[in-house]
């Protein structure tokens, strides 16, 4: 069966229920406004499938004759999770039984999928269902280039609810309009406090907990490069440093030796906290690589790295606990210093992230052995690339979900980062969001990824051929030289930046990958991208009119991946002197990139604020200038030599 998440128990029965114009959605007399909203969501989704608007009503249980030919929400006690539900389909009635708002929501979500699969003629079935993880989250980066519109965020919340995801975190560094921090957010198209309050209310209606997620230690690029707050940075790399996507990611941590650093962050948190009804907060505190190497070196003489880290983190935790908050931190730093795990505040939840193949028991067991709370956190694997690496992402999601279940993790948080200007388009992340929901709800679902692709294609997109997500997966295989490598190339050519990470020159590494890939591999990828693009265009994958914006992003991804591989061919030939034949003259490729950029900008503005789109436009412009300099036949509009 193509249901996703896969319910815990499904028993097929004889017969079917046909939804028609006389069918009604009937609520129990005691049900509240949130259940009404669930009824309206069910009404809306059924209308998309069969073009019938079902009436919604409430009736007394004693009025039995009114409860025929209906979808009946019946409140009753349930064993196990408060999110549990049962769904019974019989020829004369569909009944959803639950004991909570979320239970009814998730029962309705399953019914919506049955309706999509059967086009309203639903086979009789008994379903009993409850989640593997109580906390099933999705984290979206809104700080590294792309700030979503409110409409797109609400559509995201609807999707989370329909796939039984009950927590949303928006990762924030610089994109909330805070009083006194205007120089931090004024260039980022920030959210207003009112918008966060509105989103929090909308999430609550959809059974999604909006959890604040705030950088409070590292990754404070905009804060610590500002004139007003630069004095709190650990390292002396200030406003004069060239902006690059990589430079944004490194160095920018607080000087914990200065007590005013804590006061600064406390003031920021005091503005965040009132906007969220959640009793949780993620204060991040990850990748603090330069701790003790700059202004806090004085502390490093008396403490080792782990002690310095916890010296600051535990202060923040204590402050937030005094405000009634349950604190989360990313677990990478404490995991790398296990000798200090006993000193971490025992009530902290460690967000245990691992984004590669081969997650093993030690990845998760370390927190279990210390008796610490943890969420397991895989990735959508979309950062720094145009198309999500679906093979990696799905494997990572499945492995981490199983390990978390084995070691009794408190939650599952699927992460969606936006490194490299958030070049990755939102629609490309949908399959990974859905699969994260599937594994968070039912960790025992071991269906083959091909079957999962078919299920998502049918249930999410109405693709009767069940091929759309499989094509996206194949497109990801053509993304051989990813955007991140080309960003390192740009940084070297334009800014003379090569970067050193633990003794490895990142530009040299990118250059090696570009030189190593063969001409035939790149040309084959370009050809296959064109075939995938044409197949997407010629076949109606999504049967709903509201999917056109997403389909445009898939077309753009196919074109963009092809152009990145073509660009690599030109670089191999013109920059590195390899004996390869480019598909286009450099100036011709520049023109193609500029047309692609025009369409990319249009797609960006459909679901995102302008935010930092200008940085991607700048990147393409710089690459096109380099391409035209390569080609002596095209001398028009070249920048004069210095």
Where is average pLDDT lowest: 37-46, 75-84, 111-120, 607-616?
75-84
* Mean pLDDT of all residues in 252-259: 96
- Looking at residue 66, what is its pLDDT? 63
pLDDT tens for 489-537 read 999 999 999 998 888 999 999 999 999 999 999 999 999 999 999 999 8
DSSP line for 11-54: EEEEEEEE--TT-EEEEETT--HHHHHHHHHHHHHHHHHHS---
Query: Does residue 320 contact residue 285 with C-beta atoms inside 8 Å?
Result: no
- Looking at residue 236, what is its pLDDT? 85
3-class SS string, 444-505? CCCCCHHHHHHHHHHHHHCCCCCCHHHHHHHHHHHCCCCHHHHHHHHHHHHHCCCCEECCEE
Which domains occur in the chain, in start order?
Answer: 9-129 (3.30.379.10), 135-446 (3.20.20.80), 475-630 (no CATH)
User: For residues 168 and 165, what is the distance between their CA atoms, to the nearest angstrom?
Assistant: 8
* Mean pLDDT of all residues in 270-283: 98
pLDDT tens for 374-386 read 999 999 999 999 9
Which residues lie closer than 8 Å to 63 by C-beta, 6 or more apart? none
- Looking at residue 632, what is its pLDDT? 63
DSSP line for 57-85: EEE-TT-GGGGSSEEEEEE---SS-TT-E
328: closest CA among 309, 304, 344? 344
- Looking at residue 631, what is its pLDDT? 83
User: For residues 183 and 322, what is the distance between their CA atoms, to the nearest angstrom?
Assistant: 30
* Residue 180 in tokens: 């006194």
- Looking at residue 635, what is its pLDDT? 46
* Residue 396 in tokens: 């990572």
For residue 346, pLDDT beyond 50: yes
* Residue 299 in tokens: 């502390």
For residue 400, pLDDT beyond 70: yes
409: closest CA among 452, 354, 357? 354
For residue 311, pLDDT beyond 50: yes
pLDDT tens for 277-305 read 999 999 999 999 999 999 999 999 999 99
- Looking at residue 641, what is its pLDDT? 46
Q: Which pLDDT band holds residue 638 (cuts at 50, 70, 90)? A: very low
For residue 633, pLDDT beyond 60: no
Q: How many helices (H) and strands (E) does the chain have?
A: 23, 17
For residue 156, pLDDT beyond 90: yes
- Interhelix angle 468-478/430-441, rounded to 10 degrees, is 110
Give ∠ CA 83-85-89 in degrees, rounded to 5: 155
């Amino acid at each position: 069966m193509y249901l996703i998440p896969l319910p815990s128990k499904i028993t097929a029965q004889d017969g079917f229920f046909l939804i028609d114009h006389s069918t009604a959605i009937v609520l129990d007399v005691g049900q509240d406004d949130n259940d009404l909203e669930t009824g309206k969501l069910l009404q809306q989704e059924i209308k998309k499938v069969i073009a019938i608007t079902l009436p919604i009503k409430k009736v007394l249980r004693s009025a039995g004759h009114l409860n025929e030919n209906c979808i009946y929400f019946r409140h009753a006690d349930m064993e196990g999770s408060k999110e549990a539900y049962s769904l019974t389909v019989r020829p004369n009635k569909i009944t959803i039984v639950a004991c909570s708002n979320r239970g009814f929501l998730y029962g309705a979500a399953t019914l919506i999928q049955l309706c999509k699969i059967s086009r309203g003629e639903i086979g009789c079935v008994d379903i009993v269902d409850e989640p593997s993880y109580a906390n099933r989250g999705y984290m979206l980066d809104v700080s590294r280039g792309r700030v979503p519109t409110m409409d797109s965020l609400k559509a995201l919340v609807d999707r989370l609810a329909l796939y039984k995801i009950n927590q949303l975190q928006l990762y924030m560094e610089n994109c909330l309009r805070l009083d006194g921090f205007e120089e931090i957010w004024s260039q980022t198209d920030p959210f207003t406090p009112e918008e966060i309050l509105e989103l929090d209310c909308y999430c609550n209606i959809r059974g999604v907990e909006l959890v604040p997620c705030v950088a409070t230690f590292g990754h404070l690029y905009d804060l610590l490069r500002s004139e007003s707050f630069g004095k709190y940075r650990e390292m002396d790399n200030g406003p004069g440093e060239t902006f690059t996507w990589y430079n944004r990611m490194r160095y920018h941590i607080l000087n914990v030796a200065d007590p005013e650093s804590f006061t600064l962050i406390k003031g920021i948190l005091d503005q965040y906290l009132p906007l969220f009804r959640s009793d949780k907060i993620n204060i991040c505190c990850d990748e603090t690589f330069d701790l003790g190497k700059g202004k806090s070196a004085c502390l490093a003489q008396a403490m080792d790295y782990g002690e310095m880290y916890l010296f600051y983190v535990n202060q923040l935790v204590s402050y937030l606990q005094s405000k009634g908050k349950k604190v989360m931190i990313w677990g990478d730093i404490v995991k790398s210093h296990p000798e200090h795990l006993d000193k971490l505040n025992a009530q902290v939840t460690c967000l245990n992230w691992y984004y590669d193949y081969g997650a093993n028991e030690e990845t998760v067991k370390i927190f279990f052995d210390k008796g610490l709370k943890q969420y397991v956190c895989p990735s959508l694997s979309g950062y720094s690339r145009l198309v999500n690496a679906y093979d990696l992402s799905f494997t990572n999601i499945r492995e981490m979900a199983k390990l978390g279940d084995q070691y009794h993790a408190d939650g599952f948080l699927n992460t969606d980062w936006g490194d490299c200007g958030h070049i990755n388009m939102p629609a490309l992340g949908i399959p990974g969001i859905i699969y994260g929901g599937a594994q968070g709800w039912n960790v025992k679902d071991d269906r083959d990824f091909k079957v999962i692709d078919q299920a998502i294609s049918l249930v999410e997109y109405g693709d009767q051929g069940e091929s759309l997500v499989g094509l996206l997966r194949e497109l990801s295989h053509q993304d051989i030289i990813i955007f991140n490598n080309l960003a390192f190339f740009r940084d070297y050519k334009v800014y003379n930046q090569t970067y050193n990470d633990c003794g490895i020159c990142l530009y040299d590494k990118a250059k090696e990958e570009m030189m190593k890939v063969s001409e035939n591999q790149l040309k084959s990828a370009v050809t296959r991208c064109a075939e995938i693009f044409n197949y997407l265009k010629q076949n109606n994958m999504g049967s709903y009119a509201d999917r056109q914006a997403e389909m445009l992003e898939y077309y753009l991804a196919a074109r963009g991946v092809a152009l990145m591989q073509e660009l690599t061919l030109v670089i191999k030939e013109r920059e590195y002197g390899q004996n390869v034949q480019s598909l286009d003259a450099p100036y011709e490729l520049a023109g193609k990139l500029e047309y692609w950029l025009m369409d990319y900008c249009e797609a960006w503005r459909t679901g995102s604020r302008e935010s930092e789109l200008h940085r991607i436009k700048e990147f393409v412009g710089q690459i096109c200038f380099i391409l035209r300099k390569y080609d002596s036949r095209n001398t028009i509009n070249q920048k004069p030599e210095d």
